[in-house]
Structures are given as C-alpha cells and as structure tokens.
Chain A
C-alpha cells in the first residue's frame, strides 16, 4: 500500500492501517530515539509518544513535505524533550579514568572487561545532545545536510559544524581506548 493511501486510511481511523504504519516506521523511529536517549525503555516510550503525536497532527499534515521527514522531526523533538536537563553522568565516578588506564596497560583487556557497545554508549553520552542528534541522523539514517537542517530547523552550516565537532570529540574519546584498531 502506498504511503498516501495508508495515511488517508489512518486518518479515517482504520485500525489495520495504523498497525501497518506503526510496524513500518517503528524500527526507524526506535533507531533514532535509542541513539539519542541511549536507553531502551526511554526510547520505546519516546517512540510511543511520537506515534500519538502523529495521530494528533495527522489531520493537519498536508503531504507538502515528505511524511518520513515530518515523522523524523516528531521523533527527534520527542526524544530531545526526554533528555535530562542536567549534564549526563556518563558512568560511575572514576570509570573513565579506569578505562583509559586499562587501555594503556592492555588494550585487549578493556574489550574483555567492557563490551564495545557499552564503551560506545559511554562515548556518545559525552556528546552534547544537539551534536548527538545530528550525528545519528547522518550516520544511521544517511540523511543529507539539507534534510537534517530541515528536520531540526537549523542552517546547513550549523549541521556541518555540529557533525564535524561530534566526530572530532568521538575520535578524541575512542582513540585512546581502542588505539589504531577501533573495530
């Protein structure tokens, strides 16, 4: 079923159309929300909330912009609103120093002690939410600078700048841990 037809049916309250819409876009929404929030439960709640907002705003959706872009905007907005306002405590106190110390002593040990994904989680949490969101939209969803700018309502130059800073910061964090062999 094409998207326009599917959305029309959702607008009319067709349950089966909603089931299809949720199943079709759940993965995409979860990918973004999870990578912004870095927590499964929070991400699932955010996606649920995003779909409710889609339901509430669907009558005003005009098909002028792409549904996907419109949906991205909702998901990002909902996920960003759920981010803690105070600076994130990345890991327990002293863990960062412990990781760096282990990496210098025995790089393989660190991989055994902590999963790579946990380290990535930790590294991504070091990024400011604005940088993190731009990075997620670019790296995971493969969106262009113009698309990201449209979704976030910021200039293209800001997208470029945030992306560059986010990558630089991740590099600064991950390189001492993984050395040359990141993967």
Chain B
C-alpha cells in the first residue's frame, strides 16, 4: 500500500485545500496504486448511490399513526366539540330520534308550503277569471277581424 493512500482518501472527499490538494493531485498522476485506490473509492460511492431502497407509504402512515398515539397532534377545541357531537349523533338511539324529528319537521314544512301554494294558485285563477270577464266580446271580435284582414292586404 502506498503511504499516500490516506491522503487520497481525504482528497476524494474534498477535504484537502490549496497546496496539499495540489500535491496529492500531482502524486496521483504518477502513482498507479493510488489511482486504483481512487477508482475503488469512486466505485464504492456509485454502488451506494445506485442502491434501490425499498420503503413503503404504509410505513409513513404507520409513523404518523404512532405520532398521533403519542399525542403529537393537538386537535383544536372546535374540532373536539365537533367530534364529540358526531360521536353522540351517530349513536343508534340518538340517530333514530333525530331522524324521526327531522322527518316530522319536514312533513310540517311541506304541509305548510302546500297550503300556501294552493292558496296562491286559487288567487291566480281568480284574477285570470276577473280579467277575462272584464274584456267585452265585441272588442275581441274587432281585434280578430283586424288580424285576419291584415295578412290579406299584405299579400295584395
């Protein structure tokens, strides 16, 4: 082994500066043994860099879950309340009662709305009838006659 090999090692790692680095570079030009050593350092790095690492997203998810268990995530108060409300609401008994209440209220609203709609329809019907009655038949005939005569004149 050449005694410069240790320095070649530091040179390869860019840990030498100025004159020292120049001296090693000069030595490398003439020493076959050190050239082989440098080549092996290059190859070792290449092997490391080429290596395929088999990590999985599931492991990241597991780490986050562990952090959650450790208490790393502090949920804001409003979210805590929301979660508690959600837990309460999704209990079968509560869910059933809430569903019944919602159905009842919806039925009442629908009934109320349908009464209002029928009242409005009656009002519209009445006003249409009034309008028809207020128009005299004579004027209607005159208008129709004008409409029939107009196209005939245009044709001539």
> Which A residues lie within 8 Å of B45 (CB)?
139
A48 an interface residue at 8 Å Cβ cutoff?
Answer: yes
CB pair A140 B49 closer than 8 Å = yes
Instruction: Give chain B interface residues in 68-99, CB to chain A under 8 Å.
Output: 68, 70-75
CB pair B40 A145 closer than 8 Å = no
CB pair B40 A160 closer than 8 Å = no
CB pair A18 B73 closer than 8 Å = yes
Which residue of B43, B46, B49 has the most chain A CB atoms within 10 A of its CB atom?
A: B43
CB pair A40 B70 closer than 8 Å = no
B13 an interface residue at 8 Å Cβ cutoff?
Answer: yes
A15 and B139 CA atoms in complex are apart in Å by: 79
CB pair A12 B74 closer than 8 Å = yes
A155 and B51 CA atoms in complex are apart in Å by: 29
A30 and B51 CA atoms in complex are apart in Å by: 13
1/0 per residue, CB under 8 A from A, across B34-55: the answer is 0001001101111111011111
* Stretch of A71-79, A89-97, A162-170 with 4 or more beta carbons under 8 angstroms from chain B: A162-170
Instruction: Give chain A interface residues in 44-66, CB to chain B under 8 Å.
Output: 44, 47-48, 51-52, 55-56
CB pair B9 A163 closer than 8 Å = yes
From B37, B43, B53, A34 is in contact (CB under 8 Å) with: B53
User: From residue B23, how far is it (CB to closest CB) to chain A in Å?
Assistant: 17
A84 and B59 CA atoms in complex are apart in Å by: 22
Q: Given A40-B54, A171-B44, do A51 and B63 touch, yes or no (CB 8 Å)?
A: yes
CB pair B73 A167 closer than 8 Å = no
Question: Size band of the A side of the interface?
Answer: 35 or more
CB pair A48 B49 closer than 8 Å = no
> Which B residues lie within 8 Å of A27 (CB)?
55
CB pair B72 A175 closer than 8 Å = no
Q: Given A35-B48, A139-B44, do A26 and B70 touch, yes or no (CB 8 Å)?
A: no
From B48, B59, B75, A140 is in contact (CB under 8 Å) with: B48
A82 an interface residue at 8 Å Cβ cutoff?
Answer: no
B62 an interface residue at 8 Å Cβ cutoff?
Answer: yes
A26 and B14 CA atoms in complex are apart in Å by: 28
> Which A residues lie within 8 Å of B73 (CB)?
13-15, 18
A120 an interface residue at 8 Å Cβ cutoff?
Answer: yes
B122 an interface residue at 8 Å Cβ cutoff?
Answer: no
CB pair B13 A145 closer than 8 Å = yes
CB pair B70 A145 closer than 8 Å = no
User: From residue B40, how far is it (CB to closest CB) to chain A in Å?
Assistant: 4
CB pair B52 A117 closer than 8 Å = yes
Known: A34-B53, A51-B67, A140-B48. 18 other contacts (CB 8 A): A10-B72, A12-B74, A13-B73, A13-B74, A18-B73, A19-B64, A22-B67, A26-B55, A26-B59, A48-B59, A48-B63, A135-B44, A139-B44, A160-B10, A164-B9, A167-B41, A174-B44, A183-B47
5 examples of A-B residue contacts, CB within 8 angstroms: A47-B59, A117-B52, A160-B6, A171-B44, A174-B40
Residues of B at the A interface (CB closer than 8 Å) are: 5-6, 9-10, 13-15, 37, 40-41, 43-49, 51-56, 59-60, 62-64, 66-68, 70-75
**Closest CB pairs A-B (n = 4):** A13-B74, A15-B73, A44-B59, A182-B43
